[in-house]
Amino acid sequence: MTRNFPKLEHVLARVANGELPPDEATSVLRDMMTADMGFAQVDLQRQARRGRAEAVFCEGKTTPQVIAIAQRMVDAGQNAILTRTSSEQRAVLIESFSNRAIIRHDEARFVCIQVDPPLKKEGIVGVFAAGTTDIPVAEEAALTAEALGSPVERVYDVGVAGLHRLLRQTDTMDRARVLIVAAGMEGALPSVVGGLTRAPVIAVPTTVGYGASFNGLAALLGMLNSCSPGVSVVNIGNGFGAGYLADVINGIGEASGK
């Protein structure tokens, strides 16, 4: 794998040519790698290092903190993915970055500020939701994968209580390079999907359900105990993690030509 650090290479070339003293280069490189904002250390080299920029988990942060972090990322030329935003944070983000392309989804509490559109992959990520109430988590996953460059096909309200609805979606399962399946209650849908597809399945437990679902714990344990091989599980409600992982798998498939 070839890593691309164009800004780093430019600084080193200036040092080699005698244009930049080593002590000044040290300061420049420090600022290039991490932005110390006091309340946050923004990783400015993550996109070069991992191929995908840092994302911002906004729950628990103040609106000024969120805006400042997003601004620092945009200034560094990175797209800013912001998850679990509040309605106030979304409103201020939209106003503050009105000159940028923005993806916003209120149900998923998701915002992406685009400096540059991501390079599109050919492989498809299929995103399935067991029920309508699972859609916010499924959408967080779908929007994350799209923001990173993966085409997404959505299939919603196909839970195991009406299995015939799922069986109509085998074409999507066959086309997808990787599948994300969000479900609450007993969390059975990923196991069923896993038994119908060749693609890897990323299961996302949600908090949907009655008392004994224990706020998503029952779905999590059910998915961890899946009898279908090829099913992996992220944390309860972690649509972002599922979308990120799906894009990584999709990218590996792209590189291998599969």
pLDDT digits (tens, 9 = 90+) for 118-148: 889 999 999 999 999 999 999 999 999 999 9
Rounded distance, CA 249 to CA 202, Å?
10
Quote the tokens at residue 246: 């799906």
Same fold, 37-117 and 124-256: no
pLDDT recorded at residue 75? 87
Rounded distance, CA 135 to CA 157, Å?
8
pLDDT recorded at residue 92? 96
Cβ atoms of 203 and 150 within 8 Å: the answer is: no
With H, G, I as helix, E, B as strand and everything else as coil, classify residue 108. Answer: coil
pLDDT recorded at residue 106? 95
Helix or strand run (H / E) with residue 233: strand 231-233
Q: What is the CATH number of domain 37-117?
A: 3.30.110
Q: What is the percent of the chain where pLDDT is above 70?
A: 87
Cβ atoms of 56 and 70 within 8 Å: the answer is: yes
Low-confidence ranges of the chain (pLDDT < 70): 1-12, 15, 19-20, 22-33, 253-258
Which CA distances in Å does 64 have to 61, 67, 88, 103, 197?
8, 5, 11, 20, 45
pLDDT recorded at residue 256? 60
Q: How do the domains of the chain map onto residue ranges?
A: 37-117, 124-256
Please, what CATH class does the domain formed by 124-256 belong to?
alpha beta
Q: How many CA atoms lie within 13 A of 132 on its CB side?
A: 0
Widest distance between CA atoms in the chain: 70
pTM (2 decimals)?
0.85
Rounded distance, CA 179 to CA 202, Å?
6
